[in-house]
Amino acid sequence: MEITQKIEQLKNEKDAVILAHYYVRPEVQKIADYIGDSFYLAQVAEKLTNQVIVFAGVSFMGESAKILNPEKTVLLPDACADCAMAHMADAETIQRMRKAYEDLAVVCYINSTAELKRYADVCVTSANAVKIVKELPNQNIYFIPDRNLARVVAAQVPEKHFVFHDGFCPVHEQMKLEEILEIKEGHPAALVLVHPECPESICALADYIGSTSGIIRYATESDAEEFLICTENGVRYELEQKNPGKKFYFPKTEPVCTDMKRITLEKIWEVLETGKNAVEIDRIFADQAREPLRKMLDLAAKKEDRR
Ligand code: 13P
Ligand code: SF4
């Protein structure tokens, strides 16, 4: 029996569902029940009725699914698949900022450990950060951990005062401006679609800045035929699936999140078969970290209702 059939069989036996981020390998995206950006996956995780969730992504994603579903089993295909940025802020600096600024909201990018989320007022993703920051009553915003997303959000919410933490995504930070300019020169008609985790010099070239889902949606709805994609190369699969006639260029040194690529079909089969790598979070920690996650989902929904 093929591995995909074996996974399907185990999924039925164990009442399991597979969630995958756009950065995982194409063969993993292909077998996923739900695929999307961090916001979509958090929304889905909250509404699922299955007893077991296999999260094909990095550990903070599995942690968020577990925090939102404490009674369910959340399995990580690879327990070592981690996000470097998720560890780049710290509780001590947060406490210091709370003392230094009155009327402060600690806004925590979902790409953070559960430990860190406990100290935040609200979580955000790249898809909803602007909406949520605008909804907050606070004048001062301490945005952790990503300085690049913070900068993009601050530019769209000029009425608030921002303090940026100094974290970053190594995959987006290391993209080379020269390589992007070179592709632009060769394909002047290509629209430049950029993830907000990219540094300022790359965002400055963008025709559109948005989350992975936002980039895919923009390319799909656009009449343009060519796009220069400035994010991790896993999005190519969905871009090509949805847009067979269009051309997608990536920087010559393709941005690859090696942690996302650790997720394989074999590892998904193994955790379904054995139940290993179940996410465990201390109950009190989970209760504390759930508040900012729930607040994110509530504020995002509130805005959607108003449209
Ligand atoms: P989004 O899919 O939310 O845009 O996030 C990108 C990312 O880096 C996830 O780790
Ligand atoms: Fe983290 Fe960057 Fe990988 Fe996303 S691409 S999971 S932010 S290291």
Crossing angle between the packed helical segments 59-68 and 283-306, to the nearest 10 degrees: 90
List per-residue pLDDT tens for the chain, 307 residues long: 899 999 999 999 999 999 999 999 999 999 999 999 999 999 999 999 999 999 999 999 999 999 999 999 999 999 999 999 999 999 999 999 999 999 999 999 999 999 999 999 999 999 999 999 999 999 999 999 999 999 999 999 999 999 999 999 999 999 999 999 999 999 999 999 999 999 999 999 999 999 999 999 999 999 999 999 999 999 999 999 999 999 999 999 999 999 999 999 999 999 999 999 999 999 999 999 999 999 999 999 985 544 3
Work out which ligand 1 atom sits closest to the CA atom of 57.
Answer: 10
Please report which ligand is nearest the Cα atom of 235: 1
* Any domain includes 267: yes
Are 191 and 151 found together in one domain? no
Distance from C-alpha of 222 to C-alpha of 22, rounded to nearest angstrom: 20
Are 197 and 245 found together in one domain? yes
Ligand 2, atom 3, lies closest to the CA of 257
Q: Is 125 in the pocket of ligand 1 (CB under 6 A)?
A: yes
Are 161 and 93 found together in one domain? yes
Work out which ligand 1 atom sits closest to the CA atom of 127.
Answer: 3
* Beta strand segments in 173-282, E: 191-194, 208-209, 226-230, 247-249
Ligand 2, atom 8, lies closest to the CA of 83
Are 164 and 99 found together in one domain? yes
Please report which ligand is nearest the Cα atom of 22: 1
Contact 196, 210 (CB under 8 A): yes
* Any domain includes 115: yes
Are 159 and 11 found together in one domain? no
Range(s) of the domain holding residue 108: 85-168+287-305
Dist. CA 21 → ligand 1 center (Å) = 8
Are 163 and 291 found together in one domain? yes
Provide the pLDDT for residue 305. Answer: 47
- At residue 228, the 3 state secondary structure works out as strand
Are 17 and 45 found together in one domain? yes
Are 164 and 294 found together in one domain? yes
* Total number of domains constituting the chain: 3
CATH number for position 270: 3.40.50.10800
Please report which ligand is nearest the Cα atom of 59: 2
Cis peptide before 199 (omega within 30 of 0): no
* Any domain includes 205: yes
Distance from C-alpha of 50 to C-alpha of 242, rounded to nearest angstrom: 28
Dist. CA 82 → ligand 2 center (Å) = 8
Distance from C-alpha of 92 to C-alpha of 54, rounded to nearest angstrom: 33
Provide the pLDDT for residue 304. Answer: 52
Q: What angle do CA 213, 218, 221 make, to 5 degrees?
A: 120
- Which of the listed residues 88, 259, 261, 262 should we mutate to test ligand 2's pocket, taking the one with most ligand atoms within 8 A of CB? 259
Provide the pLDDT for residue 172. Answer: 98
Are 9 and 75 found together in one domain? yes
* Any domain includes 254: no
Are 240 and 179 found together in one domain? yes
Ligand 1, atom 9, lies closest to the CA of 38
* Any domain includes 56: yes
Are 162 and 179 found together in one domain? no
Provide the pLDDT for residue 302. Answer: 83
* Any domain includes 57: yes
* Any domain includes 154: yes
* Any domain includes 193: yes
